[in-house]
Structure 1
Amino acid sequence: MIRLLFAIGIVAAFIFGGCTPSAKQQLAETISQDISLSVVDSMARATIREGFNAGSGYSQIWARDMNTFIEVACEENDTEEIRSAILLFFALQQSNGEMIDGYVLKEDFTWYDDTPYYSEAAPKHVAFKNTVETDQETSLIQIVGKYIRKTGDRSILEEEIAGRTVSERIEEMVNYLMRERFDEKYGLLYGAMTADWGDVQPNDDFGCDMNELSHAAIDVYDNAMFIIALDYLVELYPEEADRQKWQQQRERIAGNVRKHLWDADRQKFIPHVYLGESPIPAGFDENAIHYHGGTAVAIEAGLLSHEEIAVVNAQMLENVRLSGMPSIGLTLYPVYPQNFFHGWMAEPYVYQNGGDWTWFGGRMIQQLVANGYVEEAYAEIRPMLDRVIRNKGFYEWYGKGNIPSGSGNFKGSAGVLAKAIAMLKHWAEENK
């Protein structure tokens, strides 16, 4: 209750305070003159020019990663190379319509995976998929939509691969989701229980494949990603009947997210609706956890009102204060108990169990700008900018004490920051 009242107090300041015209102009001048924005933007673009793999330490090209830097890549890389990289995903699509997580040249497939994916349409490559997650199809649809917006190249939809066009293959992906990952009772997509947007489940040493140890669960991230993908389909498909179909599906999913996942009392999304047994240990209240990443994507999907965005942002700031973590990139708070996950993620504030990820924090910054909370966005991006400059790179995630971890040049982090910076600068130019 105290935390909710704290959030409401900050929201009131957001809504009723606001910037006077002169204050808005002053903020615009401050943003325009902030050299660190240009420094980080330049670093981000240089990183993304290096290729389409996820980052240093990753030889693979992932859909969920590429989705977050495709727009900057279209500005910095050869368009034909980007087009080819996108089409290769469709060449590796499976016969049941399922989409892969990512791909790599066969000679670079050096890790253990008992279920690699192959396709006669892409004989030089091998693909892989972390099947606990349900964002692969929706990530690729968003990639195609963003690529077309940036380049105007709608012909990619009619490109034929192994006898079927990209447009037809996209429909097959949606059909796969509705057939294999859709729960009729709740009217929402499901995957395995993971931490927020993560792709690692508990009770399993490997943690990335749905198996007998998995717990089927519905979360806001997977469904918000689906809503965003459906919005792109409404935009991309020329036939009115198709657009109406996608729009109706979008409204149905959005309504069910609000009905089943939004906690009106706590003003937050609940982590999971379990379709069977829950893996949560007795005495631990999972519904108290705030999922920062899924919430940011939900805002992008249009699932929260202007006032609710202020509430959840205030909650994120309070979670950062209570956790001692460095930024709103904090994955979730409070964290899952020690040893709930296996391996190194068994520790709190490590990786997806409370690590700090610019990859998602940057998306929240974008949504703050998009929804008029520019002063908040500028304040909340500062720790992300500072650590990029200090560490000379875009680390994958940060632990306690702002310790950089994972890939040193993670392109998802670079992509979301470059886009957030562009949005801030555009706002500043319009409000000087």
Structure 2
Amino acid sequence: MNKYLMDMKKYFLTTVLFVCLMLFAGCQDRKLRNQIADDKRLESVVNKAEEFISTGLNAGGHYNEIWIRDLNTFLELACDVGRSHEIREALLMFFHFQKGDGDIPDGYVPKEKTNGSYDYRYSDSAPGFMAHKNTVETDQETSLVQAVAKYIRATGDTTILQEKINGLSVLSRMEKAMYYLLDHRYSDKYGLLWGATTIDWGDVQPEHEWGVCLDSTSHLCVDIYDNAMFIIAIKDLLSVTTHNKEFWSETFHTIFTNVRIHLWDEKRQKFIPHLYLDKSPFPPELNELEIYYHGGTAIAIEAGLLSKKEIISSYKKMKENVEKAGAQSIGLTIYPFYPIGFFNNPILYECGDYGYQNGGDWTWFGARMVKQLARNGFYAEAYEAISPMLDRTIAHDGFYEWWSHDGEPKGSGAYRGTAGVLWSAIKTIEEYNQ
């Protein structure tokens, strides 16, 4: 009898505790929903972003080019504000400059706005423009495939796939772009795509004063950003066609599996910065395994490479890095930074021991992490993470390219990629109240 009473008491207390926890969670949920609904900053930044994207498609500020890696991040917003036709034409323009092997350029620009820095390519079918490519990167082809799929989802216009550029359909050219990566940027050693050594998603290699083009000094490696972008692009390709479905499904599985085998550091619960095909460009005293890549991690989450437990662990690590660096937001590119002198381009140390892609604070990637937090149900964390990004956008009345840790805006003062990802992140957070 005593045991029965004790069991009943234990059951009663457990039930009461469970009910109290549910009531507390419900209160917290309502509080968060009300905070989001009442936060005028969200509406203000959305309105600013929509107004800004209505003014053009070039990357913004002093950038004359339309770059595919940038366009891919504000395309949905541009379609939402009625620029679908211009987006369609911009996407088609990239295929005019596609090489025979499938290679896609970074960006294109009107002839009269070119400069002498780039090695331009020409197209007889687009005589008023020239294009160029930062060859250290491996995200141009995947960005374009993703962008076409986003355009179709935003507009319902599947006719773009049958549009012919120099006798070849856009759909065929998309697949050709993907084959280019497997034919020319695939490491048999790791079963993953390779690129030059850069900082996470960046396009500056250490061995050259500018550093955007492959040359005899380049050190080739595989990293998480390029391969996560490829995984997303395969998903997007399969969303618009069933052609070669079995092949692309198998390729998806291979890349996905090899990322987890070779790039995920289980002990540190983070991605390995670089796996070198030959040797590292850095001295032995640099332990690169300690460096955390924020941007590539966000794209890996978008690609579905991390579990929910790993996602929230990653966010906590990003917050810890922000505190250690004295930065403002999880847009912090990396932590710790590559020490002074490890890269020859001085822009990477513009703020003393850090700068630009080497520890700068980029909303362009930070807001992508915010979106992924919200997409995975971590709305409180997403709302927390976006708050400093909203504050500085409103305080400085602009969408800046990147920020110093003490809140000084850097780079382009009108950067459309920043506007696009903020808009998208806000829209995803607001789904919490729908």
Instruction: Verify same fold: TM over 0.5.
Output: yes
Separation in structure 1 between the aligned mates of residue 22 and residue 226 of structure 2, nearest angstrom? 35
Q: What corresponds to 1:38 in structure 2?
A: 43
Q: What corresponds to 1:48 in structure 2?
A: 53
Mean Cα deviation higher: 17-26 or 27-36: 17-26
Separation in structure 1 between the aligned mates of residue 161 and residue 344 of structure 2, nearest angstrom? 42
Separation in structure 2 between the aligned mates of residue 193 and residue 134 of structure 1, nearest angstrom? 11
Q: What corresponds to 1:333 in structure 2?
A: 335
Separation in structure 2 between the aligned mates of residue 355 and residue 349 of structure 1, nearest angstrom? 7
CA contact (8 A) 1:27 1:428 kept: no
3-state DSSP of counterpart to 1:228: helix
Separation in structure 2 between the aligned mates of residue 25 and residue 138 of structure 1, nearest angstrom? 40
Separation in structure 2 between the aligned mates of residue 126 and residue 231 of structure 1, nearest angstrom? 30
Output one character per residue of 1:241-288: Cα deviation in whole Å (capped at 9) or x when no partner.
x22322221111010000000000000001000001211112110110
Percent of pairs identical after alignment? 49
The structure-2 alpha-carbon separation of the partners of 1:20 and 1:182, relative to structure 1 and needing over 3 Å to count, comes to same
Q: What corresponds to 1:252 in structure 2?
A: 254
Separation in structure 2 between the aligned mates of residue 18 and residue 159 of structure 1, nearest angstrom? 56
Separation in structure 2 between the aligned mates of residue 217 and residue 246 of structure 1, nearest angstrom? 23
Q: Does 1:74 align with 2:76?
A: no
CA contact (8 A) 1:103 1:125 kept: yes
3-state DSSP of counterpart to 1:400: coil
Output one character per residue of 1:5-54: Cα deviation in whole Å (capped at 9) or x when no partner.
xxxxxxxxxxx999712211221111011000000111111111111100
1:359 aligned to 345, 361, 364, which one? Answer: 364
Q: Does 1:58 align with 2:63?
A: yes
Q: What corresponds to 1:10 in structure 2?
A: none
1:345 Cα offset (Å): 3.0
Unaligned runs of at least 5 residues, structure 2: 1-20
Q: Does 1:426 align with 2:428?
A: no
Output one character per residue of 1:71-91: Cα deviation in whole Å (capped at 9) or x when no partner.
111101332111111100111
Q: What corresponds to 2:176 in structure 1?
A: 172
Q: Does 1:236 align with 2:240?
A: yes
Unaligned runs of at least 5 residues, structure 1: 1-15
Q: Does 1:412 align with 2:427?
A: no
1:107 aligned to 112, 126, 134, which one? Answer: 112
Separation in structure 1 between the aligned mates of residue 277 and residue 333 of structure 2, nearest angstrom? 24
Separation in structure 1 between the aligned mates of residue 242 and residue 221 of structure 2, nearest angstrom? 34
Q: What corresponds to 2:8 in structure 1?
A: none
Q: Does 1:271 align with 2:276?
A: no
Separation in structure 2 between the aligned mates of residue 77 and residue 112 of structure 1, nearest angstrom? 34
3-state DSSP of counterpart to 1:94: coil
Which AA in structure 2 matches 1:419? S
Output one character per residue of 1:194-228: Cα deviation in whole Å (capped at 9) or x when no partner.
00100000010120001011100100000000000
Larger Rg, first or second structure (1 or 2): 2
Q: What corresponds to 2:94 in structure 1?
A: 89
Separation in structure 2 between the aligned mates of residue 120 and residue 17 of structure 1, nearest angstrom? 66
Which AA in structure 1 matches 2:304? G
Q: What corresponds to 1:392 in structure 2?
A: 397
Q: Does 1:22 align with 2:24?
A: no
1:111 Cα offset (Å): 3.8
Greater RCO, 1 or 2 (C-alpha within 8 Å, sep 6+) = 1
CA contact (8 A) 1:130 1:209 kept: yes
1:384 Cα offset (Å): 0.2
Separation in structure 2 between the aligned mates of residue 306 and residue 346 of structure 1, nearest angstrom? 33
CA contact (8 A) 1:262 1:268 kept: yes
Which AA in structure 1 matches 2:237? L
Which AA in structure 2 matches 1:225? M
Q: What corresponds to 1:217 in structure 2?
A: 221
Q: What corresponds to 2:286 in structure 1?
A: 284
Q: What corresponds to 2:5 in structure 1?
A: none
1:340 Cα offset (Å): 0.8
CA contact (8 A) 1:105 1:125 kept: yes
Separation in structure 1 between the aligned mates of residue 374 and residue 161 of structure 2, nearest angstrom? 31
Separation in structure 1 between the aligned mates of residue 253 and residue 284 of structure 2, nearest angstrom? 36
Which AA in structure 1 matches 2:27? S
CA contact (8 A) 2:97 2:123 kept: yes
- Cα RMSD after superposing both structures: 1.4
2:230 aligned to 191, 212, 226, which one? Answer: 226
Normalized against structure 2, the TM-score is what?
0.93
CA contact (8 A) 2:69 2:139 kept: yes
Normalized against structure 1, the TM-score is what?
0.93
Matches within 5 A, 1:282-361: 282-347=284-349, 348-361=353-366
Output one character per residue of 1:135-159: Cα deviation in whole Å (capped at 9) or x when no partner.
0000000000000001000110000
Q: What corresponds to 1:151 in structure 2?
A: 155
Separation in structure 1 between the aligned mates of residue 334 and residue 168 of structure 2, nearest angstrom? 41
1:95 Cα offset (Å): 1.8
Q: Does 1:189 align with 2:200?
A: no
The structure-2 alpha-carbon separation of the partners of 1:75 and 1:18, relative to structure 1 and needing over 3 Å to count, comes to farther
CA contact (8 A) 2:163 2:169 kept: yes
